[in-house]
Amino acid sequence: MTTSPAPILNMSPFVVASSENLTPDEIRNLLFNVDCSLEIPIDDFNENWWPLITNIWTKWTSYKHVNGDVWKVFACCLMKFRESSTRQKENVPSDKCRITKKRSSDLCYAKIKVSWLVSLKIVQIERCKNSPNHAHLLLECDRIKRPQVIRTLVEKEAIKNYTPPAIASAVREYAIKELGLGTSVSELKRQEVANIKYKIRGHMEKIFIGDSNLMLDISQCMSYLIEKEYKVERYSTHQSSKGIVFAHPEQIKKLEQYGWLTLIDSTHKTNRYDWHLFTLYIRDTYGCWDVGAHFFVSNESCETVSQALKIIRDNYCHWSPRYILSDQSSIEAKSIKKAFPGINGGEQECEVILCVVHIMRLWMSKIYDKKTRDVMVAAMHKRTKIGCEKLIQEAIDNCAVSSIQNYIKRNYMKNTERWALWARQHSPLLLQVTSTNPLESYHSEIKRLTSSKHGLVGAVQNIVNIDLKKRSDSEKVAFDFRTKKISAHGVEDDIIEEIHKFPFPLQRLIVKEACAVMNRLEKGKGAPGLTSLDCHCLF
């Protein structure tokens, strides 16, 4: 598509003192089809004008004068005077060539001349002689490439290490609402954000690589933890397995105080040595989850894990767990029994209970008969041991697949106290916390920041930062527990004053119930028949 050359406009330059009175879209339109000469202060042009149009113009030629003045001729990015390579000279068959997108050349012949007049501290912009208008819309340039101002916004967000979709969404929202760049940011792609993030994070993650020598990396790791006031201990076993145990003093206090129910789980691919990270997770009296302790192990064996648990119990604090919730890992179960022998060792019994979510996922593949699986799920939620065992026997008797029958008999017949909820009816907390999902969410956050290319020192740095955030969150929850007051629309002031006497979590529950009753009355229904304050629950 071609257009006839536009006539040269004989008019005085349009002097622009600053860009404060112009929106970014207006600036881009002025510099897209330059209908009249423009004069702009150099600093304003370099900082506020040129970053908006870097995707429209590419340098064609330039010249520098003796006095320091520079002029450059820019051509439209769609001119593309070089043809794309077709790899014909390499004698590569077409079916073997990589499939790529090729952009046509000579689609537009628009040109402008930009002169930096250093002595006058201004920039002059004018259309080149016989240069036509653009043969396309401004949107076509935005679809090919983003202007520098958008790339700068992406780079600033990429430093925070969000996911590419989150970065793209944040940049679009900010660019549209705050900068008025609706058209240029609308074509921002997630893959482009991911590429920019990779370049930015690549330089930033050098500090996480650590030393190539494992022993030096461990030394750096321990030095960093000591610097951050962590208690850290390195150990080894007879099987030549190594481990590092570390915990912050504040975490140790909470583990000792609230560790009667502890979640344990491991995660991998946080470092290049493939050392597995174990975390102990606890919940305080304010309902907030926090870390109790960590340990890295070079080999996930019973002896290595049990040794780490003993170090935490004997050297760090008086940790005396009553229940430890884990997934169906035999190594973790054996390690816990070895570290906490219970009555046989003259101490409190420590029971291992299993995550119901992991069990349900396993049943989806192992107990593939739906009717049998539904009976087993009902057995899991039965309130009594007799009722649970009766349903298990019913599932076995009514199942026509012998392999499923043998699987249930072998794995779930004689250990119902570990996976069935009848054994947890005495504790509201055990009925509330039935899975390791809170700990898995914490590990997901760690894996989002760490990489299998990092050293141990890099993994530890990210763990310390996340632990600091978790402690800050728990402190805020503890502060709000007694001090924060709820507000509710439609609830009378005298009722709100009475509600404020309760802790904040209870305030939310009471207001929720009050609003539910009010909605019921608005619909013409009667009030619930609550005539007595007696409670008939198990607690």
Estimate the crossing angle of helix 456-483 against helix 214-227, to 10 degrees.
20
**Domain end marker among 168, 189, 207:** 207
In this structure, are strands 242-247 and 231-236 parallel, antiparallel, or unpaired? Answer: antiparallel
User: Which residue ranges in the chain fall short of pLDDT 50?
Assistant: 1-11
Supply the pTM of this predicted model.
Answer: 0.65
Q: Is residue 77 part of a domain?
A: yes
- Please give the structure tokens belonging to residue 496: 């709100």
User: Do 181 and 133 fall within a single domain?
Assistant: no
- Please give the structure tokens belonging to residue 282: 């606890």
User: Do 331 and 457 fall within a single domain?
Assistant: yes
Instruction: List the domain range (segments joined by +) for residue 363.
Output: 357-432
Q: Is residue 152 part of a domain?
A: yes
User: Do 152 and 222 fall within a single domain?
Assistant: no
Backbone angles phi, psi at 217, to 5 degrees: -65, -40
pLDDT at residue 5, as a whole number: 42
User: Do 299 and 339 fall within a single domain?
Assistant: yes
pLDDT at residue 11, as a whole number: 46
Domain count of the chain? 5
Q: Is residue 89 part of a domain?
A: no
C-alpha torsion angle, residues 134, 140, 141, 144 (rounded to 10): -150
User: Do 489 and 406 fall within a single domain?
Assistant: no
pLDDT at residue 321, as a whole number: 95
For residue 3, give Cα distances in angstroms to 32, 107, 262: 16, 10, 74
Backbone angles phi, psi at 313, to 5 degrees: -75, -40
CA–CA distance, 496 with 508 (Å, rounded to integer) = 11
CA–CA distance, 483 with 487 (Å, rounded to integer) = 13
User: Do 426 and 441 fall within a single domain?
Assistant: no
User: Do 460 and 332 fall within a single domain?
Assistant: yes
User: Do 330 and 462 fall within a single domain?
Assistant: yes
**Domain end marker among 166, 185, 207:** 207
Q: Is residue 224 part of a domain?
A: yes
User: Do 404 and 451 fall within a single domain?
Assistant: no
User: Do 224 and 345 fall within a single domain?
Assistant: yes
The neighbour count for residue 257, using CB atoms within 10 Å, is: 13
User: Do 407 and 444 fall within a single domain?
Assistant: no
User: Do 398 and 316 fall within a single domain?
Assistant: no
Q: For the chain, what is the total number of helices (H) and then of strands (E)?
A: 21, 13
For residue 27, give Cα distances in angstroms to 9, 117, 138, 308: 20, 20, 12, 63
